[in-house]
Structure 1
Amino acid sequence: MTATASSRHTAPRYKAPADRDLVPRAMVRAMLALVLTVLALVSYYVYTDRPLVATPPEAEVILERTVFLTGEMSGAATVLDAQGTLIGRLSPETGGFIAGVGRVLDRERTKHGVSLTGPVTIIGRADGRVSIHDPSTGWGADLMGFGQDNARAFVRLLAQ
């Protein structure tokens, strides 16, 4: 076996000859066309102020409560009502999601440069959906997207 023959057999398999494309040009062009089409569609809808159609309909508000949330990195959470009365002090095992929402609120408030201690509104709707809204930043979230157990944690706060 010669030196060139042995080096040809030991060359890494992932290296293709220079004259051969690893990804076919037709595939690259198809991916580029897809990206440009999606970009054009999104741009059209944004610039023409088209209404959002993939959002759930707004049902009637049947229950609303203003609370103060404090979440810790451990997962523990403290919830106070609008008057400052303790509603619940939740352990890391039971308050993890509520503490997580509290940390999201802190991040949003820091981004907007507002006080970290403001109230939030928990909203229960006629269709069974529960959401949270922060009036100081305009941030809000439909809690049903996080699963029944997590939404139920906020339903319990509404019921107390």
Structure 2
Amino acid sequence: MILQMTTARIQNYIGLVIFAALVMVVIGVGSFMKAGALERQADASVLVQKDLYFRDLPDGSVGVISANNGEVIAQVTGQAGFVRGILRAMARERRIRQITSDEAFLLISHSDGRLTLVDPATQNRIDLESFGKDNAAEFAAFLNSPR
């Protein structure tokens, strides 16, 4: 009767075996995956790219200036919440890192329909289509400018 097992003891052993099996599954799956690593999707080819400066103008609007020729290609007036919000975020990152605003931003249209704003000074990028077509269209208008 020394080897007699109670129901509670049998349940404990079954629970221990199930727990050990789950641990082995988790370890096995974890070894095949890069846990916590985000893999960046390769960029599609570039259709159009413009190097742009965004400058505050005396009238309170934001001037969109071509880095190639210094011409104002657009003015962002009024609230223009999305454009101003994106530009504030990019400018804030430059201020935090104490980087001047001398380097132009890159606005890139890709062949897969993505529209990206890149700050070469900080290596930050924002995929604008992630915020919806209407918001991305506000930036796409800068690419379509004839200047």
- TM bucket by the smaller chain? 0.5 to 0.7
Matched residues, number: 112
Provide the residue aligned with 2:132 in structure 1.
Answer: 147
From the superposition, tell whether residues 45 and 70 of structure 1 become closer, same or farther in structure 2 (CA, over 3 Å).
farther
Provide the residue aligned with 1:84 in structure 2.
Answer: 70
Provide the residue aligned with 1:27 in structure 2.
Answer: none
Q: Deviations over 1:69-107 (max 9, x none)?
A: 1369xx8422100122111112125x3322222111110
The CA distance in 2 between the partners of 1:78 and 1:152, in whole Å, is: 17
Contact 1:76 1:99 in 2 (8 A): no
Give percent identity, aligned residues only: 27
Unaligned runs of 5+ in 2: 1-25
* Structure 1 outlier segments of 4+, above 2 Å: none
SS at match of 1:45: coil
The CA distance in 2 between the partners of 1:140 and 1:125, in whole Å, is: 14
SS at match of 1:132: strand
Q: Which of the pair has the greater relative contact order for Cα pairs under 8 Å at 6+ separation?
A: 2
CA RMSD of aligned residues (A): 2.6
Contact 1:66 1:119 in 2 (8 A): yes
Q: Deviations over 1:105-150 (max 9, x none)?
A: 1101012111034310000000111000000110101001111111
Give the TM-score of the pair, scaled to structure 1. Answer: 0.61
Provide the residue aligned with 2:122 in structure 1.
Answer: 137
Deviation at 1:56, TM superposition (A): 4.8
Contact 1:71 1:101 in 2 (8 A): no
From the superposition, tell whether residues 130 and 68 of structure 1 become closer, same or farther in structure 2 (CA, over 3 Å).
same
From the superposition, tell whether residues 132 and 141 of structure 1 become closer, same or farther in structure 2 (CA, over 3 Å).
same
The CA distance in 2 between the partners of 1:100 and 1:153, in whole Å, is: 12
Of 32, 35, 53, the match for 1:45: 35
